[in-house]
C-alpha cells in the first residue's frame, strides 16, 4: 500500500510523526507537509507566488504553502505514482462540528478526495497543550483505525472519514462510534487589543465553545463519552431534502 501523509501543523509536528509511525506498519509512506503551521487555512490554495517544495529526506518534502497545496503538489508532481490513500493529521486539537469548515487537516484530506484518492483526516480532540503528551500513547489506536478503514472491502465513494480521538489514555477508550457532525456555539472568540501605537487590533481565537446538541450520534457526544468518533464526509454540499421538496418553493420563470 502506498500512503501520502500531510497535515496543517507543519512538517515538524508531533502529530504527523505519530501518524507516520502508524502508517509505516501499513505500507510505503510519503510525507508532503507545510514548512510551518497552517491551522485554519481551510481549503485555500496559494495563487500569488510560486511554491517551492524542498526534499528533506527520501520520500519526504516540506512546502511553503497550505495543506491543500501540499496534497496537490504531491499527487500532481512529486510522487512517482498515485497513492492508495491520503492521510492527514494527527491534528493537535479537535476537528468536530463546524471545525471542518476551517480545518486545514480536513482540507488536505478533502483535496486528496477531490483528486480521486480515498482520504482520512485524524485529530486529537483535546487541549493542544496535552496533545504531545498523549499522542504517543495512542499509537496503537491510530494504527488500528487506519488498518480497519484502509482495508474496507468497498471504501465509500466520494467520501472521506474524519476521525477524532478522545483526550484520554488509550486504555480508557471505550470503542469507536460512527457519528455525524455536531453543532457548536462560539463565544468571546474575538479579542480586541491595541498595538504599540495605540491602534486597535483584533486577535481571533480562544474564547469558549459550547455544543448545541448532545445526541448520541454526534461527534462531540462520542468524544465526551470516551469513544473515537468517525464521521463520513463528502464533497457534495447539496441539501438533498430541500431538492426533494422543491415543488413547495421553486416556481420556474
pLDDT at 126: 82
Coil vs helix vs strand at 88: strand
> What pTM was computed for the model?
0.92
Dist. CA 165–CA 154, nearest whole Å: 24
**Position 149 in a domain:** yes
**Position 81 in a domain:** yes
The strand pair at 60-63 and 53-57 is best described as antiparallel
**Position 105 in a domain:** yes
**Position 202 in a domain:** no
Q: What is the mean pLDDT of residues 202-206?
A: 82
Dist. CA 124–CA 127, nearest whole Å: 8
Could you give the percent of the chain with pLDDT greater than 70? 97
CATH at 169: 3.40.1210.10
For the chain, the domain total comes to 1
**Position 71 in a domain:** yes
**Closest residue by Cα to residue 116 from 53, 72, 182, 77:** 72
CB 172 within 8 A of CB 146: no
**Position 130 in a domain:** yes
Domain span at residue 163 reads 2-183+214-248
**Position 196 in a domain:** no
- Give residue-wise pLDDT tens across range 81-134: 999 999 999 999 999 999 999 999 999 999 999 999 999 999 999 876 666 667
**Position 193 in a domain:** no
DSSP characters over 153-193:
SSPPTTEEEEEEE-SS-GGG--EEEE-B---EEEES-EEEE
Backbone angles phi, psi at 22, to 5 degrees: -70, -40
Q: How confident is the model at residue 248 (pLDDT cuts 50, 70, 90)?
A: confident
Amino acid at each position: 500500500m502506498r500512503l501520502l501523509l500531510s497535515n496543517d501543523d507543519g512538517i515538524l509536528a508531533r502529530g504527523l510523526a505519530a501518524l507516520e509511525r502508524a502508517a509505516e506498519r501499513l505500507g510505503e509512506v510519503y510525507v508532503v507537509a507545510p514548512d510551518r503551521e497552517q491551522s485554519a487555512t481551510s481549503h485555500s490554495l496559494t495563487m500569488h507566488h510560486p511554491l517551492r517544495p524542498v526534499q528533506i529526506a527520501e520520500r519526504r518534502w516540506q512546502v511553503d504553502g497550505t495543506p491543500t497545496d501540499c496534497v496537490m503538489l504531491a499527487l500532481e508532481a512529486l510522487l512517482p505514482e498515485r497513492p492508495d490513500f491520503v492521510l492527514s493529521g494527527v491534528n493537535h486539537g479537535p476537528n468536530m462540528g463546524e471545525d471542518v469548515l476551517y480545518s486545514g487537516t480536513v482540507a488536505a484530506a478533502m483535496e486528496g478526495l477531490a483528486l480521486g484518492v480515498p482520504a482520512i483526516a485524524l485529530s486529537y480532540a483535546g487541549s493542544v497543550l496535552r496533545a504531545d503528551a498523549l499522542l504517543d500513547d495512542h499509537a496503537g489506536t491510530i494504527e488500528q483505525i487506519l488498518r480497519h478503514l484502509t482495508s474496507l472491502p468497498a471504501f465509500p465513494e466520494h467520501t472521506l472519514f474524519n476521525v477524532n480521538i478522545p483526550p484520554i489514555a488509550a486504555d480508557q477508550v471505550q470503542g469507536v462510534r460512527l457519528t455525524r457532525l455536531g453543532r457548536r456555539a462560539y463565544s468571546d472568540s474575538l479579542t480586541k487589543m491595541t498595538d504599540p501605537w495605540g491602534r486597535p487590533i483584533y486577535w481571533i481565537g480562544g474564547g469558549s465553545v459550547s455544543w448545541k446538541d448532545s445526541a448520541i450520534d454526534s461527534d462531540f457526544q462520542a468524544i465526551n463519552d470516551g469513544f473515537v468518533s468517525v464521521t463520513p464526509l463528502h464533497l457534495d454540499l447539496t441539501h438533498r431534502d430541500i431538492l426533494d421538496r422543491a415543488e413547495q418553493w421553486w416556481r420556474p420563470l
